[in-house]
A = this chain, B = another copy of it.
Amino acid sequence: MIIVMEKNATPKDIENVCEVIKSAGLGVHISKGEDVTIIGVIGDRRKLAEKPIELMDGVEKTVPIMEPYKLASRTFHPEPSVIKVKDVEIGGNEVILMAGPCAVESREQLLETAEIVKKAGAKVLRGGAFKPRTSPYSFQGLGEKGLEILAEAREKTGLPIITEVVGTDTVDVVAEYTDIIQIGARNMQNFPLLKAVGRINKPVMLKRGLSATIEEWLNAAEYIMNEGNFNVILCERGIRTFETMTRNTLDLSSVPIVKHLSHLPVIVDPSHAAGNWRWVMPLARGAVAVGADGLIIEVHPNPKEALSDGPQSLNPENLMILSKELKQTAAISGRYFRDGN
């Protein structure tokens, strides 16, 4: 961390700041410029977390230099992490497709979809049992009944499952059924929930919040890892911008950046970002082309009948076309994607 002093800071001001830093067990390095003096802090700035240096007399501002997260950082873990879910490896050489309906609506719908996505090459089955919805009048999911149906689909297809948890009170029941726990975008900074899944021995897929910076996203991963669960998968799903033609703006640049800053794997969700199935296929290709470790895509056997997010769900025909495209796209970066045939 660097502390920039005000133009008219006195030697006494500078001395006081140095005192505070040293008393926290850190080193200081003073650099007098033409207009201002800057003070470099040597050591882990987390030791200063509870000192409001900015308010000391003569201080203009503080500038952080090192990232605030450690466990999620590539600086301290240079090799990419590969997360194993049964025999599926996320973050390795295979591009992983997770697919399924937005919400589990019925046994028939889910089992049918599971077979479809397996054939298309999905290695993980997705489906929401607890649904966070903007309006209280929208369909809220089947709850535990939905989890049972997901488990049955896993048994029939062999596909591990991923489903969202929306509150600490349902972490245990969701963890009992699912293979990967999903934290949704609206809960990216639900800290009690992050801590709760950090104490569970199952991989967690953490979606980026609608207005979360990449640094905040990695800090949220740090919350989970700090509780002992290192199996964190990141998921880019679009950020909120002024553009209204997409539900959110998929930030594909976050993929190479996160892989540069962190060792954690990154999955892309083009369905929620686009909000319209027409843009899902090109964005899915784009995501793999920029280096994503996988995709999570909404599929419905008959999108026109979907109880939620029908407009952004791929139908089976389009999913098969995408499956073929993914093989070619994965190959560009020396990776592979395998369909289910």
Give Cα A251–Cα B250 distance, bound, in whole angstroms: 7
With A134-B189, A189-B134 given, is the CB distance from A255 to B282 under 8 Å? Answer: yes
Q: In chain A, residues 261-278, which have Cβ atoms closer than 8 Å to a Cβ of chain B?
A: 273-274, 278
Nearest to A26 among chain B residues (CB) is B34
Q: Which of A44-52, A91-99, A110-118, A121-129 lies at the interface?
A: A44-52
Whether B192 contacts A167 by the Cβ 8 Å rule is yes
Q: Would you call A175 an interface residue if the criterion is a C-beta within 8 Å of the partner chain's C-beta atoms? A: no
Contacts of A253 in B (CB 8 A): 245-246, 249-250, 273-274, 279, 283
Across the interface, do B239 and A50 meet the contact criterion of CB distance under 8 Å?
no
Question: Complex Cα distance A246/B132, Å?
Answer: 27
Q: Is the CB of A249 within 8 A of B256?
A: no
A29 is an interface residue with CB less than 8 A from chain B: yes
Complex alpha-carbon distance, A81 and B289, angstroms: 26
Could you tell me the distance between the alpha carbons of A139 and B190 in the complex, rounded to whole angstroms?
A: 16
Query: Given that A68-B135, A168-B169 are known contacts, is A240 also in contact with B223, CB under 8 Å in the complex?
Result: no
Tell me if B34 and A43 are in contact (CB < 8 A).
yes
* A56 cross-chain contacts in B, Cβ below 8 A: 304
Instruction: Determine the distance from Cα of A54 to Cα of B304 in the docked complex, in whole angstroms.
Output: 8
A109 at the B interface (CB under 8 A)? no
Measured between alpha carbons, how far is A253 from B244 in the docked complex, in Å? Answer: 12
Query: Is A211 at the interface (CB under 8 A from chain B)?
Result: yes
- For residue A220, give the distance in angstroms from its CB to the closest CB of chain B: 8
Interface contact B49-A43, CB-CB below 8 Å: no
The segment out of A149-157, A199-207, A324-332 that lies at the interface is A324-332
Q: Are B44 and A40 in contact (CB under 8 A)?
A: no
Given A49-B139, A257-B245, A311-B55, verify A168-B168 contact (CB < 8 Å). yes
- Assess A249 versus B239: contact at CB under 8 Å? Given A169-B169, A289-B286, A332-B325: yes
- Contact of A285 with B250 at beta-carbon distance under 8 Å, contacts A35-B66, A134-B216, A222-B136 already known: no
Smallest beta-carbon distance A266→chain B, Å: 12
Question: In residues 148-181 of chain A, which contact B (Cβ within 8 Å)?
Answer: 166-170
For the complex, give the distance between the alpha carbons of A308 and B306 in Å.
Answer: 44
Name the residue on B nearest A222 (C-beta): B136
Q: In A219-266, which residues have CB < 8 Å from any B CB?
A: 219, 222-223, 226, 239-246, 249-257, 260
A55 interface neighbour in B166, B193, B290, B303, Cβ under 8 Å:
B303
- Please encode chain A, from 1 to 39, with 1 for each CB lying within 8 Å of some chain B CB and 0 for all others: 010100100000000000000000001010111111010
Given A49-B138, A167-B193, A252-B286, 17 more A-B residue pairs with CB atoms under 8 Å apart are: A2-B2, A36-B66, A52-B305, A55-B311, A134-B189, A134-B219, A136-B222, A213-B242, A213-B245, A214-B245, A240-B240, A244-B244, A249-B249, A250-B253, A252-B252, A256-B279, A286-B290
